[in-house]
Every structure is written in C-alpha cells, then in structure tokens.
Amino acid sequence: MAKQELSMQDSLLEAKRYLDNAKEILREKAKKEDGYYQDAKYVKMAGHTAYTGVLFALDRYFGKKTKGRKDADWYKQNLSKQDRKMLNSFVTVYELLHLVMTYDGAGNEDMVKVGMQEAERIIDWVETRTAA
C-alpha cells in the first residue's frame, strides 16, 4: 500500500511536532545546569529532532529533488532563490542544530535557544508562504 502524502497543513503540524519533541527532550532528559545541558546524548537527540522538523517543512515546500539525495547545499540553493533572510536562518539552523548539537553534543543554553528560534522562524515562513 502506497504511503499517503500529508497535506501542507498536516506537514507543518508534523514539523512543529518535531520541534516540540526536541524541546521536551531537552527539558526532560538533558539536565540543564549553569546554562548548559549536561547530557550530550540527549542534546544530540534534540538537535537531530529539531533539524529534521525544519527539513520536513522545507521538503514539503520545495518538493522532490530530481537526482540524488538532498543535502544542505540543495536547501541553501533553493532558499537563496526565494529569501536571503531565510537562507541565513537555515545556515544558522544547520550549523547549530545539525553540526554543533547533533554531532558535537554541545549544549550551551543560549546557542540551543537561537537554533530553536531560527527553526521556528523557517517553519513559520513556510506556513506563511503556503497559506491559502
């Protein structure tokens, strides 16, 4: 049985759910102390979850890539054609949520907050652009 495509509205709700899950992981599991999340395992998990939510929204907005897998450069290229501010937001999300949190497990509270805010900004941008 073929997978049913989500409507754009359902896709945006799903992207927001990813962000909510990431925040919950940080709040419930990562043990914040003195401005830093202490458990790198959960910082990594939260970073990956939030970044996936952003990609989920952008995938529904931009559609399918014609050849090969999508990578960060593909998203950057598509965003650069539409909105330079969102390109900057994406670069921030990529660097903070994907590289610093997901790979390095770095949990500076302020850095995490900026990454999450930029992720929300991108999802809100997609929502605004697709509103009927």
Q: What CATH number should be reported for the domain holding residue 55?
A: 1.20.120.330
pTM score of the predicted model: 0.92
Expressed as residue numbers, the domain containing 85 is 8-130
- According to the model, what pLDDT value does residue 69 have? 83
Cβ neighbours for 91, distance < 8 A, ≥ 6 positions apart: 76
Query: Which residue bears the tokens 């909105």?
Result: 83
The number of domains in the chain is: 1
Cβ neighbours for 45, distance < 8 A, ≥ 6 positions apart: 25, 29
Does residue 3 form part of some domain?
no
Query: What mean pLDDT comes out for the span 89-106?
Result: 97
Radius of gyration of the chain (CA): 15
Query: Which residue bears the tokens 């990454």?
Result: 115
Q: What is the dihedral of CA 107, 118, 87, 13, to 10 degrees?
A: 120
- According to the model, what pLDDT value does residue 38 have? 96
